[in-house]
Amino acid sequence: MVQVGRKRRLQVIVAALGGILLAGGAAFAFSSGSGTATSAAATGDTLAVSISQAPPTVFLLPGRSVPLHGTINNPNAAPVPFMGFTATIESVDTTHGQAAHPCSPADYFVDGGPQITSGDANDIPALGEASWEGMTLHMLGDRTLSQADCKGAVVNISYSATP
């Protein structure tokens, strides 16, 4: 059995469009008589949101799947548009030795697309978080090779923002 354990946090960069929409500013000048008037506005940077995955509550077996879910945290003082993200299996940590078929990311795949399940489905709230679900981790079932090296493995998944 493969246990997909640890909660992983990965800082992701919010798409440039979101930064422009949230932090964009405009400068206007108005003069009602003689003399000059000046005005200026500064734009700021949108901080990265962080995506967390909750640990699955079931064990992963060859040929089976587990749903993935978690939260997205927004450290910004304004809502951030939810534009989606992708998941990539970065590595697999095993405690067993090198079997005839060492456990690797090729033994797994992730599919589905994340969806916001709390609050506004289009925005991550200011200084808050939103829950997500909709992705699934699958373990391939290869009957021709031993997958014993995957027993007790931890699958490390990274998340990155969709531009």
**In this predicted model, what pLDDT tens digit does every residue of 128-149 receive, in sequence order?**
999 999 999 999 987 777 788 8
The answer to whether residue 2 sits within a structural domain is no
Report residue 65 as tokens: 């799947």
The answer to whether residue 125 sits within a structural domain is yes
pLDDT, residue 19, reads 32
The answer to whether residue 127 sits within a structural domain is yes
User: Could you tell me the residue range of the domain that residue 120 belongs to?
Assistant: 9-161
The answer to whether residue 113 sits within a structural domain is yes
The answer to whether residue 1 sits within a structural domain is no
pLDDT, residue 92, reads 93
pTM tops 0.75, yes or no? no
Cβ proximity of 43 and 19 under 8 Å: no
pLDDT in tens, 53-77: 999 888 888 999 999 999 999 999 9
Position 16 pLDDT exceeds 50: no
The answer to whether residue 3 sits within a structural domain is no
For residues 82-111, give the mean pLDDT.
Answer: 87
3-state DSSP call for residue 103? coil
pLDDT, residue 101, reads 73
Domain count, the chain: 1
Question: Residue 43 — very low, low, confident or very high, per pLDDT cuts 50/70/90?
Answer: low
pLDDT, residue 134, reads 95
Question: Residue 37 — very low, low, confident or very high, per pLDDT cuts 50/70/90?
Answer: very low
pLDDT, residue 27, reads 26
pLDDT, residue 157, reads 95
